[in-house]
Structure 1
Amino acid sequence: EFQNKVYVAHECIRNFFNASLPFTNFDVIAIPDLPTYRYMSQYGMLIVRESELQTNGISEIMREIMYQWIGTFITPDWWTEAYINKALISFLASELVIEINGEAEFNGKYPMTILYSLYYELGKRYPHSRITGMKQELNSHKIELTIRMLKHVLGMESFKNGIRKFISDYKNRSFKGSDLWNTLSKQAKIDKTLDKELSILEISESWLKQSRLPIIEITRDYETRTAIIQQKVYLRERPHDVPDQDKMLWWIPLFVIRQDTLNFFNNTYLWMKKIKQIKISNLPPQHEFIIVNPEEIGPFPVNYDEKNWNMLSDFLQTENGTKNIPAYTR
């Protein structure tokens, strides 16, 4: 069974990247009392603690085998790029596991577990409690969720094309984080899924170079069917006491779902381009709600005016509400 999991994972990754590794054999070595780590990856080889051969699931195997491509076939230029390496592996491995067996292995908790841990920690006055290891882990999570957001923005096909181009261009070479973002940008513009004047590098850096996350606040004008959308730093405690919070701005994709359509497969969005406030129009009538950031596409919470919250609450207490609004959005 373990051999079959390795084969399935290897083939899924190879097909996704459209790239084969430059060797004919991939060896798995089981060691009864492997200390410290459950898995150790070497080029063309996976060393595993023997007890792991009996575990259920494929996610850990998927991550470890993906290191053969991202980490060895292409290699981070310096240790500072290791966060992007880890985040990209974690996201792609999770996507492939979900493709294989749906949400069953993650019990419907991916990516919400890491998302809410970010909300909790980065909303503090002093994030990470000054613990370096925690900071590094949270940085990796934030990069992973940024990659997930970009996948939704660009669409899966364009995103996949960009990743394949990235693997092809940097095989047997080292890469910097900017190489990933620039490759995704170039491919998205070829695929016409990103406006020519925009840059994935600039968008991603607004998320990765700031130590916080934003919150979006929406106030609707029901008479004119417009809304004011503002962004600010998300803080759970002592919001008046965080330096430079007024200078923190992000590139935020705004996906808006209307009650009159409830189309969660609509990829139409608009950018909030590192500005504090924008105004949107052509919203539904005053008796219908809107949902922004469905399925938590971007790593940011949303707060509505009281009337929109009440309409959402009332709808979610109906059978249609629980049937038509996906779980992550609820």
Structure 2
Amino acid sequence: MLELRDVVKQCGERLERFRRSPRRLGEQNTKASLISPIIEALGWDLRDPDEVSHEYRRNSTENPVDYALLLLRTPKLFIEAKGLGENLDVPRWANQTIAYATAAGVEWVALTDGMEWRIYNAHAPVPIEQKLFRTVRIDDPEPAVELLSLLSKDNMRDNRIDELWNGFFVDRQVHAVLTSMFSETEPPAELVALLDRRLPRLTSDAIRTSLIRARASFDFPVPTGQSTPPSSASGNSSPRPSPTAAPTFTRTGTSTAGARRTRQAVTTQERLIKVTDMIAAGRLAPGATLHGDYRGITRRGELLADGQVRFHGQIYPSLSAAGRAVKMEDLGADAPESKTSTDGLGFWRTTDAISGDVVSVKEIRRRTARDADGD
């Protein structure tokens, strides 16, 4: 059996040939030429139904999953295949497979068109767009081998991917909070107070102004001394993927692995754009679900057509007011304003109705301004 690295290289060469062909590669040919070889290189026996169940279904009334990889006859990973070039951003592909995996007690799901692989944790207690762990493409072989090796039979038996997910899950939440602290127009009062105590020679106003100027980025490298998972059935080892090397807030299929997020200066034009302007421009859709993270918990609101927000049955006049309500719900109605004041544009995330990815409303405002500049 060929090593995973060799098979990924072969699949990459096939992809180049398929791209030049005017004939569309259907799902069955994609599975045979691009997906099954990867599964086999990961140490799974495609000819043993106790290891790889093709067109798996728990009962005759359910739609089948293309592959179920089993250990001790128990499904450990579902793989849903699509024809090469199909749009993996179509929400129902991931939603259906993740829902089926959840009902079947299967934690891990892969969605692939043979070129791109998306790995999801179906059991993660977060909105579905945050269940995405990592995305790789076969035509970028090193990251592909690194991620796909976690799906080998040996690594699935040893729960290597679970170890990485646990670190990634915590790091992502900490990263989001740290980033939000440095992306708001007004720095958090508690951060100013902390620095004020540690920098007695500076005034709080000077510290606050400095924080407004700051451009912060946060990286979470793998701690030294951790063992690296072996790669597939080859016996070689590959570097352990960084827990933060994953697309955390998008569903675009373009990995943001290792991306450093820095605050961008807000232009005068951006400040003039209202939520209703973003709706009129087609970037925000009335009725869209808003997601806001606070203290490790994701809260949901609904964007109304007039720019107001419905949260827990109450209507709030702005994103900031709804974000403040989230914090007051947790801290209590008597919490000081310094604790509950919220930059609603940075706090809430939602789907960009044009691009289809999930980003902050502040980023959608930036895109709306950019579009206006292009007119």
TM-score when normalising by structure 2: 0.33
Larger radius of gyration: 2
Normalized per residue, the structure richer in helix is 1
User: TM-score, structure 1 length as denominator?
Assistant: 0.36
